[in-house]
Structure 1
Amino acid sequence: MNENANASGAHRPGTERPFFVYGTLRPGGRHHDRLLRGRTTAEDEAVLPDAVLHDGPGYPYAVAAPGAGPVTGTLLTAAPGVYTALLDALDLLEIPAGYERTVRAIVRLRDGARVSAWVYLAAPDAELGPPIPGGDWFGRADA
């Protein structure tokens, strides 16, 4: 599950996946209501294994790190008919802010299922702050 979006952010037809969010897009985060309210059918607590969460300039960056983690977040399922518009809106927010969209296996906490989902990880040139102990943006000391 190492599929990355191409440079334009496009995805192949038939590859609709849920999204894993771990910072300002999580329920309660500053971008959730503006971009996601009413556009999802499910929002499940989940974790991203094999990753480290770093502080960033007002938002976090997750970085792949085998054996590390997990990073705490939410698995979002797009409502019918809004997937492409939602994917485009998230790409417009995340890619210019130093992320790249990739497919990763996420663990949904309610049932332990491993789910293939889009996640925005730090791009190689992102300026990372210190690691966030415990991997939870909402649980950091200055939250």
Structure 2
Amino acid sequence: MTCHVHSAFTGKCEDAEEERIVSVTAAALPFFVYGTLRPGEVNHGLLLRGRTRAEEPALLPDAVLYAGPGYPYAVHAPGGTVTGDLVTAHPWAYDALLAELDRLEEYRPGDPHTLYERVERATVVRAAGGPPVRAWVYLAGPVVAARLRACGELIEGGDWRARRR
């Protein structure tokens, strides 16, 4: 079984068909960021600066972006693409950073009203080319995603930074 949704607080891997315990450090994946956590944005400076060992431009397949109140939401959508960055944390900073990002994104495992869900996805790294890289990404939670699909403002082209220029 692949862990698709992981709770940093309980250490449980949540999947529709089965559940098992995994350690947070065993799943020390990089993060795909597409909004205020991107290099040069406000939350990157507050949470990530000095705690990362690599930051690379990347694309998230099968997702689209919607405008939020000062930040975007990524929503699963076959055929869509979101532009962002693949951020790899220093090992010494990983566990604390994971918990801080979960708090920032208001990720509450198992709560359908959670603002964002942290999920494991394939992220295509543009700079390096090659095969997709597995990464954590914060997607809009189920209730938020349904509302955005129904009446949200789609960010054409999937690049929040380009939209703001």
TM-score computed with the length of structure 2 as normaliser: 0.79
- Rg larger for: 2
Query: When you count strand as a share of all residues, which structure comes out higher?
Result: 2
Which residue identity is paired with 1:71? V
Which residue identity is paired with 1:105? A
Structure 2 CA distance for aligned equivalents of residues 22 and 101 of structure 1: 13
Which residue identity is paired with 2:86? L
Aligned to 1:83: 94
Which residue identity is paired with 1:41? R
| Match among 84, 101, 109 for residue 73 of structure 1 | 84
| Match among 132, 138, 142 for residue 120 of structure 1 | 138
Check if 1:130 corresponds to 2:142.
no
Structure 1 CA distance for aligned equivalents of residues 8 and 98 of structure 2: 14
Could you list the per-position Cα deviations for residues 80-127 of structure 1 after superposition, in whole angstroms to 9, with x for gaps in the alignment? Answer: 211100100100000257100000000001122300000000001225
Structure 2 CA distance for aligned equivalents of residues 74 and 43 of structure 1: 6
- Aligned identity (percent) is 55
Asked if structure 2 preserves the Cα contact closer than 8 Å seen for 1:5 and 1:100, the reply is no
Please state whether the residue corresponding to 1:92 is helix, strand or coil.
Answer: helix
Aligned to 1:6: 7
Aligned residues: CA RMSD:
1.9
Which residue identity is paired with 2:69? P
TM-score computed with the length of structure 1 as normaliser: 0.90
Please state whether the residue corresponding to 2:134 is helix, strand or coil.
Answer: strand
Structure 2 CA distance for aligned equivalents of residues 74 and 123 of structure 1: 21
Asked if structure 1 preserves the Cα contact closer than 8 Å seen for 2:64 and 2:154, the reply is yes
Q: Work out which structure has the larger RCO, using CA pairs closer than 8 Å and 6 or more positions apart in sequence.
A: 1
Alignment of 1:15-30 (within 5 A): 15-30=27-42
Q: Offset of 1:5 from its aligned partner?
A: 1.9
Aligned length: 141
Moved more, 96-105 or 30-39: 96-105
| Match among 67, 90, 96 for residue 55 of structure 1 | 67
